Amino acid sequence: MNHRPQRSLLAALGGCAAALCIASAHALPEAALQAAVAQFTEASKGKADATDASSEQFQALLKAEPGHPLLMSYLGATTTLKARDAWAPWKKMSYAEDGLALIDKAIGLLGPEHDQALVQGTPVSLQTRFVAANTFLGLPEMFNRGPRGRQLLEEIQASPLFAKAPGGFQGAVLMRSARQAEQAKDLPRARGLYQQVLARQLPQAGDAQAALKGVQ
């Protein structure tokens, strides 16, 4: 199982998530969440010891807040990273399937209340879908999760909540969608998404401007 694409995609996700802080109705412990996300960021860069630490921390957070979809989606994403790090093929598959099951469950748990609970001004519902989309799109094609990942990105952008989210989150979603369009050789769509980042003057504008040079 080749997890190089997953490593790069989840690295982008981890970099985005590392700056997040919680301000939600569930009153999640901010310091503990930040520590777990920081470990996830390191794990996404290929550090196996950080993967284990992140998994343990998200498990502890989820035990304290059972059924929280964002925590569950992060635990699922971290579990798929264990598949990247495992040596035995059967272990790789087991971790991947367990991680995907957690993410699927997290998405299934989303309800109207998660449109109101915020992560740095961004609804938990959108963040959970974004974690899922990044994970799905980073998996090898054999898992057939690419179409669902693309669908989730489209759902996020189509949500009336998206335009109200902080610029950093909007930019992360648009940049991820643009890169996916590039991979699919849909250069007109990629250009349009990068141009949206520029037009909205989002924090990723510099990256979008550089990326545009490669899709002319």
CA dihedral 55, 107, 170, 75 (to 10 degrees): 0
pLDDT in the model for residue 5: 40
Structure confidence by residue, pLDDT tens digits, 119-157: 778 899 999 999 999 999 999 999 999 999 999 999 999
- Same domain (yes/no): 122, 142: yes
* Overall domain count for the chain: 2
Beta carbons of 149 and 136 less than 8 angstroms apart? yes
Q: What is the CATH number of the domain that holds 124?
A: 1.25.40
pLDDT in the model for residue 31: 82
Structure confidence by residue, pLDDT tens digits, 2-22: 444 444 334 444 444 433 433
| Residue type (1 letter), 134 | N
Give me the domain span that covers residue 176: 166-216
- Which pTM does this prediction carry? 0.85
